[in-house]
């Protein structure tokens, strides 16, 4: 009988959920959902010095924001240390592991000698068959795996293909340290086995770990999960992804105004393809995702492509939902508290009314918020540098006349305001643009905004007339 699919995402809580981790989690989640299985979450917190609760919180929060839901309770690796030790003792009792009493100085000398001779195997196996009675007094031994000395260790990887290591080049890896704490290598294997993980999907920086971990599986007589090692994400120039390229936490993308659905869609296409399709609903991703379509070469992060995709998702999102998303964004940006203080039923309604014009221009929620700034602005408006250049004595006089022309508009709407402005321009012998630009600056403080007649409608008669009076000569 085929085992039900179980994948896992196993981050180390030494920092935020970075973008590569977000993609790994997404791939695991999609594969599990496609096959009707489970994706488990394991926090690998065995590094007690560097693991922090804020990092754990950031990982959980980042996954939830991305819309990646794991199954069951979160497993914390450190809490399972007794179980890891139990397996090491089992291997020791079966003669498949041994106690190593090499001192730190001896190990350093071995490594230096091996490197000088160009050997990848750094430990010389000197305690494999030595009598423990020869051990130094009061020395706490490590427990090492008695790895095979000949033959090959082979991984049939779903992305990388068949990967082979010569056993003569692989060390007898440490399972338990001298203080009794289990190593990462042992803990991962025991946890994956005990959690019934069937598929390990992770970055290809773990490929060498796969060889070492397979030797533990073999020693325990356990079934090896299916392996899929996905290439890492590089910057646009092909170099290792850095902060300037986008190697940021998922929380940073939220603060930059990206929609979770857009980021999910972008991440799924980083290294995986389904024909020429670029835009996927979540269900389409689940239905189409497979490990065989993941490329072997590193994916390149492209902010312009992400922005374009995000703009598409913004335009496809209904206006009320965008207002809700903007309110959420206020928790993560410096200007948030000041804008939140101005949020009322009136300004929310104005945001919804302005949204059709606002979302056509914005690639991020931050841009959307910035372009909606005229709704929250205090009087008299702060006029930006380009706007100041427009406000000459002549245009200020023109603004006074425009205000007079708008006073009698009834009912107040984009259409009636436009008709009044066109009539004014015609009678004054001016092009509409010569009227619209001073009007825009007086009402928004900028030379760019949504359609000026939409701005008039959104702000309402009283606010418009007041703002025009502030700037009129």
- What residue numbers does the annotated binding site cover? 243
Phi and psi (nearest 5°) for 141? -80, 160
Q: Is 420 helix (H, G, I), strand (E, B) or coil?
A: helix
Alpha-carbon distance 136 to 461, whole Å?
Answer: 90
Report CA torsion sign: 191, 194, 196, 198: positive
Alpha-carbon distance 396 to 389, whole Å?
Answer: 11
Q: Is residue 210 within 8 Å of residue 155, measured between CB atoms? A: yes
Q: Is 363 one of the catalytic residues? A: no
Q: Is 292 helix (H, G, I), strand (E, B) or coil?
A: helix
**Closest by CA position to 422, among listed 456, 393, 453, 389:** 453
Classify strands 174-176 and 142-145 as parallel, antiparallel or unpaired.
Answer: antiparallel
CB contact set of 296 (below 8 Å; sequence gap of 6+): 159, 160, 161, 231
Alpha-carbon distance 223 to 236, whole Å?
Answer: 39
For tokens 């004054």, what's the residue?
428
For tokens 């436009």, what's the residue?
418
- 64, 243, 386, 431: the catalytic one is 243
**First and final CA of the chain: distance in angstroms?**
85
CB burial of residue 248 (10 Å; 0-12, 13-18, 19+):
middle
Alpha-carbon distance 67 to 372, whole Å?
Answer: 27
Report CA torsion sign: 234, 238, 240, 245: negative
Q: Find the helix packing angle between 260-268 and 19-34, rounded to 10°.
A: 80
Alpha-carbon distance 370 to 364, whole Å?
Answer: 10
Could you tell me which residues are beta bridge partners of residue 201? Answer: 228
- Helices and strands per DSSP (H, E), number in the chain: 21, 12
Where would I find the beta strands (DSSP E) of 265-367? 299-300
Quick one: tokens of 357?
């014009």
Quick one: tokens of 226?
């299916």
Alpha-carbon distance 125 to 191, whole Å?
Answer: 27
Q: Is residue 26 within 8 Å of residue 70, measured between CB atoms? A: no
Positions annotated as catalytic residues are 243
């Amino acid at each position: 009988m085929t085992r039900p699919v179980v994948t896992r995402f196993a981050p180390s809580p030494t920092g935020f959920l970075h973008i590569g981790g977000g993609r790994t989690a997404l791939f695991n989640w999609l594969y599990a959902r496609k096959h009707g299985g489970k994706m488990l979450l394991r926090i690998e917190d065995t590094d007690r010095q560097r693991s922090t609760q804020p990092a754990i919180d950031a990982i959980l929060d980042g996954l939830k924001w991305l819309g990646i839901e794991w199954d069951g309770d979160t497993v914390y690796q450190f809490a399972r240390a007794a179980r890891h030790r139990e397996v090491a003792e089992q291997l020791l009792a079966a003669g498949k592991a041994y106690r190593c009493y090499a001192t730190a100085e001896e190990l350093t000398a071995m490594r230096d000698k091996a490197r000088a001779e160009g050997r990848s195997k750094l430990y010389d196996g000197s305690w494999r068959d030595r009598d423990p009675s020869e051990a130094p007094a009061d020395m706490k031994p490590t427990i090492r795996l008695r790895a095979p000395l000949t033959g090959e260790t082979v991984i049939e990887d779903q992305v990388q293909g068949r990967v082979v290591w010569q056993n003569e080049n692989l060390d007898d890896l440490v399972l338990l340290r001298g203080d009794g704490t289990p190593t990462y290598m042992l803990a991962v294997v025991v946890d994956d086995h005990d959690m019934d993980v069937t598929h390990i999907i992770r970055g290809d920086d773990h490929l060498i770990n796969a060889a070492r971990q397979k030797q533990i599986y073999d020693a325990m007589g356990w079934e090896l999960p299916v392996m899929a090692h996905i290439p890492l994400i590089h910057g646009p120039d092909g170099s290792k992804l850095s902060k300037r390229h986008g190697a940021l936490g998922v929380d940073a993308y939220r603060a930059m105004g990206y929609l979770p659905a857009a980021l999910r869609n972008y991440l799924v296409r980083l290294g995986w393809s389904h024909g020429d399709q670029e835009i996927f609903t979540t269900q389409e991703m689940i239905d189409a995702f497979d490990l065989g379509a993941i490329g072997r070469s590193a994916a390149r992060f492209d902010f312009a492509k992400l922005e374009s995709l995000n703009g598409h998702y913004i335009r496809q999102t209904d206006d009320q939902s965008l207002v809700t998303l903007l309110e959420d964004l206020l928790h993560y940006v410096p200007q948030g508290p000041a804008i939140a203080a101005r949020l009322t039923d009136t300004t929310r309604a104005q945001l919804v009314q302005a949204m059709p014009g606002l979302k056509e221009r914005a690639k991020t929620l931050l841009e959307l918020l910035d372009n909606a700034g005229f709704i929250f602005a205090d009087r008299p408006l702060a006029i930006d540098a380009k706007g100041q250049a427009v406000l000459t004595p002549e245009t200020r006089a023109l603004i006074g006349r425009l205000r007079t022309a708008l006073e009698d508009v009834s009912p107040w709407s984009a259409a009636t305001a436009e008709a009044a402005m066109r009539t004014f321009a015609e009678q004054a012998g001016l092009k509409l643009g010569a009227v619209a630009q001073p009007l825009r600056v007086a009402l928004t403080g900028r030379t760019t905004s949504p359609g000026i007649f939409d701005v008039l409608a959104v702000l309402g008669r009283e606010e418009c007339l007041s703002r025009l009076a502030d700037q009129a000569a």
